[in-house]
A and B are shown apart, each in its own frame.
Chain A
Amino acid sequence: MQFENVAIVDITETRKSRGKIERGNEYHSLEKYNEIISRDLLDSAGIEKSDVDGWAMGLPYAPTDESYPIRLLETLGFNVQWLTTTRDGGVSASSLLAQAAMAVESGVTETVICSLCDLPMDPYHKNKDSDGPTWDPDPRGYMKQYLLPYGCQGPNERAAHAVQRHMEEYGTTFDQLGEVPVTQRYHATLNPLAAFDEELTIEEWYESPMITDPHRLYDCVMRVNAGLGYLLTTKERAKKLTDNPVYVEGAGFNYANDVSPKPDVTVSGMGTAGDIAYENAGCGPEDIDFVQLYDDYPIMVVEQLEDLGFCEKGEGGPFVEETDLRYDGDLPLNTSGGQLSAGQPGVGAGAIQVNEAVRQLKGNAENRQIDDPRRGVVTGLANLGYGTNTTGHGCVILTNEEETHA
């Protein structure tokens, strides 16, 4: 999809919480998170509630009732004329951004708040596994019936299978894979909103406990509570509300790409989503100044770099080792720390990537600001399945150049 008349005015993001009240973690209800992010977005644009006529909402994984989106708007006092929701896992943030952009582009709404607030670590709704999520993550019994009896508990194991295959087929090494979490943690030390911001060396990464070989502790993404959001409107209006709007240049999606019984887990479906996004934006990987790639595991970053054309398939390992991925390097990667260090806020997971891309393109990334970036890639991944790779993929290309379509 191409966009001619839509822009992002600004983004907002709360601090992260692991839901440990006794450790002084900041914790809010879903309503409060939504209130905070909507107020922040209105304040930064200098507009009133009545100026907002559309809302795009990521449906939380935390349990909500059937009319939750409408009741939330009632609670917050927003009377809008367009409402959409999404819940396609880690693709939600890029999907919601594209949906809102399409709605503005088509004229059904002019000014839209996108909100992605979730609290997977709610301390007041303990289940019997006190560190686990607060809802039943397995309502259809898929985990209990197929995976638990085999000793598999979830994505840590499933992604480990992909790492093992990548190492076997392409000779990808630990030194290479470790570059991703270590570089991202360096970025997190520069991000006051990151959940995990203590320095991490490659030695400490090597010494961290194996969780599911070859995944170490720092390779496994951690759930956090948080609220994230963005404000979209027409180009014309955006230029009145901010000095530095960000434009949606192209977007591509790919779902249920490989449901065969014998998928190649070294390939993600991001190739197709990325090709569509590049085509719409009229650009290619050589035109990209930075990448904010969905990072539930380092292998997913490596595979996406391959599938998005930054290197050949199988060369992702050497690529991350030889490329300076820091914010001031050759191809800045996940400059807020990514989800591996900033945390994974439920349905807002991919918004960690969207928000950081917008910050960078607006020039608001402060001590981790990339030097004059023009164009960045944002991705979302979802549904790491049983013996498969991810089967949900979203890719959005953002720019701060108003007229760029080739």
Chain B
Amino acid sequence: MTDESDSPMTDTDSTTTGPLTAEALTADSAFTLPGFFDALADGRLLAARCTDCETHMLPPRPACYACGSRAVTLSEQPRTGEVVSYTSVNRPPSAFEHLAPITVAVVELDSSARLTGRVAAPLEDLAIGDRVELEVRDPEDVGIDPAFDLSYEAEWPVHVFERA
């Protein structure tokens, strides 16, 4: 990443925006899942921000699905937000069975971006509107069986919301 034309894919809040080239969308780019999870492992939660309409997209997308603009840039997201809706997964597939029940919420971050994720709280302790904060965890600490067919889980981090 040497000159400005290469940088919008990795620079957070770069002023340089425009259509991403195919060459730019490598696994290093946070506009792809490996790049997104790499950044998350480093503690940075990245969304795409549309510079035309200010829509935030999580995980990042190379074009705005609110207005269609391709003038998107990466934007580091706040870790706090509030619960929009939630459920509890009581009958997960075998690899997740020992984790059940799993509380899952749609959270609206303070940037207005929405992210679905686990919540480290039992369902009955949670309500719509509750404040939560994102934590990034190692998948092994969360207890996901690495033998399950989720090869990326071995290295990609898991995000978990804690009650703020």
- Specify which chain A residues have a CB less than 8 angstroms from the CB of B152 in the assembled complex: 144-145
For the complex, what is the distance from the CA of A162 to the CA of B84, rounded to whole Å? 10
The stretch from A113-121, A256-264, A278-286, A394-402 touching chain B is A256-264
**Interface check A161, CB cutoff 8 A:** yes
Task: Please tell me if the beta carbons of A149 and B87 are within 8 angstroms of each other in the complex.
Answer: no
Give residues 112-167 of A contacting B (CB, 8 Å). Answer: 128-129, 144-153, 156-157, 160-162, 164-165
> Which A residue sits closest to B158, measured CB to CB?
A149
Q: Determine which of B33, B58, B90, B117 lies in contact with A145 in the assembled complex, contact meaning CB atoms within 8 Å.
A: B33
Task: Please tell me if the beta carbons of A150 and B104 are within 8 angstroms of each other in the complex.
Answer: yes
For the complex, what is the distance from the CA of A144 to the CA of B37, rounded to whole Å? 14
Most B-side CB within 10 Å, residue of A160, A211, A260, A262: A262
**How does the 8 Å CB contact mask read for B85-107 relative to A, with 1 for contact and 0 for none?**
11111111110100100111010
**Interface check A202, CB cutoff 8 A:** no
Task: Please tell me if the beta carbons of B99 and A151 are within 8 angstroms of each other in the complex.
Answer: yes
Task: Please tell me if the beta carbons of B56 and A261 are within 8 angstroms of each other in the complex.
Answer: yes
Task: Please tell me if the beta carbons of A213 and B88 are within 8 angstroms of each other in the complex.
Answer: yes
Given contacts A145-B33, A147-B116, A148-B150, contact A259 B87 (CB under 8 A): no
Task: Please tell me if the beta carbons of A165 and B84 are within 8 angstroms of each other in the complex.
Answer: yes
In this complex, the interface size class of chain A, counting residues with CB under 8 Å from chain B, is: 20 to 34
**Interface check B82, CB cutoff 8 A:** no
**How does the 8 Å CB contact mask read for B21-42 relative to A, with 1 for contact and 0 for none?**
0000000000001000000000
- Specify which chain B residues have a CB less than 8 angstroms from the CB of A214 in the assembled complex: 87
> Which A residue sits closest to B139, measured CB to CB?
A149
Given contacts A147-B116, A387-B116, contact A153 B92 (CB under 8 A): yes
For the complex, what is the distance from the CA of A262 to the CA of B81, rounded to whole Å? 14
Task: Please tell me if the beta carbons of A261 and B66 are within 8 angstroms of each other in the complex.
Answer: yes
For the complex, what is the distance from the CA of A164 to the CA of B118, rounded to whole Å? 16
**Interface check A209, CB cutoff 8 A:** yes
- Specify which chain B residues have a CB less than 8 angstroms from the CB of A168 in the assembled complex: 85, 128
- The smallest beta-carbon distance between B152 and chain A, in angstroms, is 7
Most A-side CB within 10 Å, residue of B59, B65, B88, B96: B88
> Which A residue sits closest to B91, measured CB to CB?
A211
> Which B residue sits closest to A260, measured CB to CB?
B66
Task: Please tell me if the beta carbons of A261 and B113 are within 8 angstroms of each other in the complex.
Answer: yes
- The smallest beta-carbon distance between A148 and chain B, in angstroms, is 6
- The smallest beta-carbon distance between A185 and chain B, in angstroms, is 21
- The smallest beta-carbon distance between A88 and chain B, in angstroms, is 20
For the complex, what is the distance from the CA of A215 to the CA of B113, rounded to whole Å? 26
- The smallest beta-carbon distance between B108 and chain A, in angstroms, is 7
Task: Please tell me if the beta carbons of A213 and B94 are within 8 angstroms of each other in the complex.
Answer: no
> Which A residue sits closest to B105, measured CB to CB?
A161
**Interface check B112, CB cutoff 8 A:** yes
Task: Please tell me if the beta carbons of A164 and B128 are within 8 angstroms of each other in the complex.
Answer: yes
**How does the 8 Å CB contact mask read for A259-290 relative to B, with 1 for contact and 0 for none?**
11110010000000000000000000000000
Task: Please tell me if the beta carbons of B86 and A262 are within 8 angstroms of each other in the complex.
Answer: no
A-B contact count (CB 8 A): 94
For the complex, what is the distance from the CA of A92 to the CA of B99, rounded to whole Å? 37
For the complex, what is the distance from the CA of A211 to the CA of B116, rounded to whole Å? 18
Given contacts A147-B116, A151-B102, A212-B87, contact A262 B92 (CB under 8 A): no
Task: Please tell me if the beta carbons of B85 and A164 are within 8 angstroms of each other in the complex.
Answer: yes
- Specify which chain A residues have a CB less than 8 angstroms from the CB of B117 in the assembled complex: 150
Task: Please tell me if the beta carbons of B93 and A129 are within 8 angstroms of each other in the complex.
Answer: yes
- Specify which chain B residues have a CB less than 8 angstroms from the CB of A260 in the assembled complex: 55, 65-66
Given contacts A147-B116, A149-B158, A387-B114, contact A259 B65 (CB under 8 A): yes
Given contacts A261-B56, A262-B114, contact A153 B89 (CB under 8 A): yes
Task: Please tell me if the beta carbons of A165 and B85 are within 8 angstroms of each other in the complex.
Answer: yes
Task: Please tell me if the beta carbons of B89 and A212 are within 8 angstroms of each other in the complex.
Answer: yes
Task: Please tell me if the beta carbons of A212 and B116 are within 8 angstroms of each other in the complex.
Answer: no
Given contacts A147-B116, A148-B150, A211-B91, contact A265 B85 (CB under 8 A): yes
For the complex, what is the distance from the CA of A213 to the CA of B96, rounded to whole Å? 17
Give residues 4-52 of B contacting A (CB, 8 Å). Answer: 33
For the complex, what is the distance from the CA of A161 to the CA of B84, rounded to whole Å? 9
Task: Please tell me if the beta carbons of A213 and B123 are within 8 angstroms of each other in the complex.
Answer: yes
- The smallest beta-carbon distance between A130 and chain B, in angstroms, is 10
Task: Please tell me if the beta carbons of B114 and A261 are within 8 angstroms of each other in the complex.
Answer: yes
Q: Determine which of A148, A211, A213, A262 lies in contact with B108 in the assembled complex, contact meaning CB atoms within 8 Å.
A: A262
Task: Please tell me if the beta carbons of B93 and A164 are within 8 angstroms of each other in the complex.
Answer: no
Q: Determine which of B89, B103, B112, B153 lies in contact with A149 in the assembled complex, contact meaning CB atoms within 8 Å.
A: B153
Could you list some 21 contacts between A and B, CB below 8 A? A129-B93, A145-B33, A149-B153, A150-B117, A150-B118, A152-B104, A157-B89, A161-B86, A209-B90, A209-B91, A211-B90, A212-B87, A212-B88, A213-B87, A213-B88, A213-B123, A260-B66, A261-B58, A386-B116, A387-B106, A387-B114
Q: A153-B92, A210-B88 are in contact. List 4 more A-B contacts (CB 8 A).
A: A149-B158, A150-B118, A151-B89, A261-B113
Query: Closest 3 interchain pairs by CB?
Result: A160-B87, A151-B102, A161-B85
